[in-house]
Chains A and B, each alone.
Chain A
Amino acid sequence: MITLNLGMTIVLAVLYSVGFYLLLQRSLMRILIGIVVLGHGANLLLQLVGGPPARAPVLGTAPPELFADPLPQALALTAIVITFAMTTYLLALGYRSWVLVGHDEVQDDVEDRRIAERERPEGSMSDDTADTGTDDDEDPGSAAASSEPAATGGRR
């Protein structure tokens, strides 16, 4: 059993919560940063489960019981490379979206909205007006948000 370092545990909690909070945003840049932060959290967790800091695991330099566990480090190294590649890809995707659509915002499912529109007149009025309300609330929200990423795009 590994006793956890309190400081690192708090850092992990912050990384995970910030990561997931950013993932819930609309702008792809923020989501990207969220994924980066979350990736750091996961990699740090991998490091942490290897136990407390210890000697480098090279045979002959120290007795084996003083060695740090090398496996989590190898795992984290692999994971870092993968997260790095995915981050680059997501950046390219964000740029492509900015070129094609003019902003890098993740939009609603268009066909889903169309089906919701189509079903509206047939359904019960009370439920559907509530639905319409949220739809209308969302639209100006996303419109307002759309100007923001465009500005971010400009600064890039």
Chain B
Amino acid sequence: MTTLVTLPVLLPILGAALTVIGSRSARLQRLIGIAVLAVVSAVAAVLLVVADRSGPIVAELGGWPAPVGIVLVADRLSALLLLISTLVTLAVLVYAIDQRITDYGRDTASTTFHPIFLLLSTGVSLAYLTGDLFSLFVAFEIMLAASYVLITRRTNASRIRSGMTYVIISLTSSLLFLTTIALVYAATGTVNLADLSARVAVLPPGLQTLLACMTIVTFGIKAAMVPLHFWLPDSYPNAPAPVTALFAGLLTKVGIYALLRTQTLVFPQDRPSALLLVLAALTMLVGALGALAQNDLNRLLSFLLVSHIGFMLFGLAVFDAAGVAGTALYVVHHITVQATLFLVSGLITRRTGTVAIDQMGGLAQRAPFLAVLFAVPALTLAGIPPTSGFVAKLALLQAGAAAGLSTALVAGVVIVASLLTLYAMVRVWIRVFWGTEKEPLPDADPADELVVGTAATSRPMYAATAGLVAVSLAIAAAAGPLSSVAGRAGVDLTDRLPYVTAVLR
């Protein structure tokens, strides 16, 4: 069973190596990529079932026991997030492969795309599974290094500008993370998370607060928490649709996961955190209001992404089992729906030739299926019942209402931000899908990545997007079992004992 925990990290990195070796054959690369991610999804599903039945599964790398050696831990939360992340990665890979086939033909192999894509998946898996603060840093670096390449591939002037912002901000946050690790090590003499949870508790309160704030800033930058969000709407929209979808789905959520893990395990609190509550409320409002001002569809979605990071922070800020469970559920829902929306936006852009909302119109008549593909995730994001968004928001609201006056107030902000999301989505719907039909704009620059016209979209691209819509509907259908798993994960996280005892046997 312990071997199984290492597979989500080992398989993608081996796959990446194989795709480099097999870079002559486009078909082989595609096969490796899809097979690896499919196997990892299956492994993640098994891990989730086992972790849910019999507690966290721990793999000691090199056979060294916990505080000395590096451990990989799959508990309910990490297995759940690993499963949904890998499924989304798989769908995005199918979409990306078909976009490449449509654009460059069936036989164009790439020496960079497939290896880097799998490396990104390696980093994400490692970040979810590691039980060690320094390995978490390494996981972030693998993931970010892969993302730097993906965001600056086939650069043009505008992409290099956004790529630069992204790379510099991410590097800065990585260096802050390194500083945090050094300070944590200086104070406690360990970097193992389970070990830290006992050792940080005996530190002076001031020092604890300092270290907690350092982690909040570090992961807050990665998760795009207001006021550290400014890089996100600037850098994400310029990347190709599948890359943006992957980033929006996974990268910020890995930041949230790291925040969730460190705050509950290492810096636990027994009452709601005022700082996180304020930050969550600000993130929700700034993101949602920012989205209303946008005319670029991808930027609008990016601002909504920022806004919904606030929802996840809110669950964490409540700091009880119900709140943390709400965040876990929300992360699962949001990974799926945000990736779907960016993929749909890619399809829309290929049909209309523009990302500017005011230059689109009447798309519902020309592309009714696309309209359905947009409408379902849009309503899900806003949280209309009976979608997965409603289930996740309900969990958050219940946790907020139960935890006291201050959290109940911020729960009110959750409702306002949800309504603003709905308003933004309805505005997009009216302007893009209704109204007078507008002719698609001609392809502004035939040499760039954006190819325009009905021939520029293929059936498998729609199928991959529809698959993700189906996943998000399945989340809503399986709301009962899923929220009970999330609930148990929340209890695990706030209880801390299952994780700590499993690691430090």
Contacts and interface: CB of A to CB of B under 8 A. Distances in A.
A81 B450 CA distance: 36
B68 to A, nearest CB: 9
A11 interface: no
Contacts of B157: 100-101
B332 interface: no
Given A45-B182, A89-B145, A100-B156, A78 B171 contact: no
A49 B183 contact: yes
A29 to B, nearest CB: 12
Contacts of B183: 45, 49
Nearest to B237: A111
B179 interface: yes
B296 interface: yes
A53 to B, nearest CB: 16
Contacts of B181: 46, 75
Contacts of B145: 85-86, 89
Contact of A100 (B160, B175, B299): B160
A38 B185 contact: no
B168 interface: yes
A93 B164 contact: yes
Interface stretch (A54-62, A102-110, A131-139, A140-148): A102-110
Contacts of B186: 2, 48-49
Contacts of A68: none
Contacts of A83: 175
Contacts of A101: 157, 160-161
A49 to B, nearest CB: 4
A49 B155 CA distance: 41
A39 B175 contact: yes
Most central of B134, B167, B175, B186 by chain A CB within 10 Å: B175
A104 B299 CA distance: 24
A42 B234 CA distance: 28
Interface residues of B, number: 38
B185 A72 contact: yes
Interface of A, secondary structure class, is helix
B182 A93 contact: no
A37 B12 CA distance: 33
A106 B231 CA distance: 12
Given A78-B134, A86-B145, A93 B167 contact: yes
Contacts of B179: 41-42, 45
Contacts of B299: 111
Interface in B153-195: 155-158, 160-161, 163-165, 167-168, 171-172, 174-175, 178-179, 181-183, 185-186, 191
B172 A49 contact: no
Contact of A31 (B168, B237, B295): B168
Given A28-B164, A46-B178, A82-B141, A115 B294 contact: yes
Given A39-B175, A45-B182, A86-B171, A97 B141 contact: no
Contacts of B295: 111, 114-115, 118
Contacts of A43: 178
Interface size class of A (residues with CB under 8 A): 35 or more
Nearest to A86: B171
Contacts of B465: none
Interface in A63-122: 71-72, 75, 78-79, 82-83, 85-86, 89-90, 93, 96-97, 100-101, 106-107, 109-112, 114-115, 118-119
Interface in B403-426: none
Nearest to B135: A78
Given A82-B141, A86-B171, A119 B293 contact: yes
Contact of B155 (A42, A100, A110): A100
B148 interface: yes
Given A72-B185, A112-B234, A93 B163 contact: yes
B148 A75 contact: no
Contacts of B165: 106, 109
B152 interface: yes
Contact of A96 (B148, B155, B182): B155
B138 interface: yes
Given A38-B172, A46-B178, A109 B234 contact: yes
Most central of A48, A82, A114 by chain B CB within 10 Å: A82
A41 B161 CA distance: 27
Interface string B263-305: 0000000000000000000000000000001111001000000
Contacts of A41: 175, 179
A48 B145 CA distance: 27
Interface string B439-452: 00000000000000
Report the 5 A-B pairs with minimum CB-CB distance, sorted nearest first. Answer: A49-B186, A42-B178, A45-B182, A109-B234, A46-B182
19 contacts: A31-B168, A38-B175, A45-B178, A46-B181, A48-B186, A49-B182, A75-B181, A79-B137, A85-B145, A90-B167, A96-B160, A97-B160, A100-B156, A100-B160, A106-B168, A107-B161, A109-B165, A115-B294, A119-B293
Given A79-B178, A111-B295, A115-B294, 4 more contacts: A28-B164, A71-B191, A82-B138, A106-B161
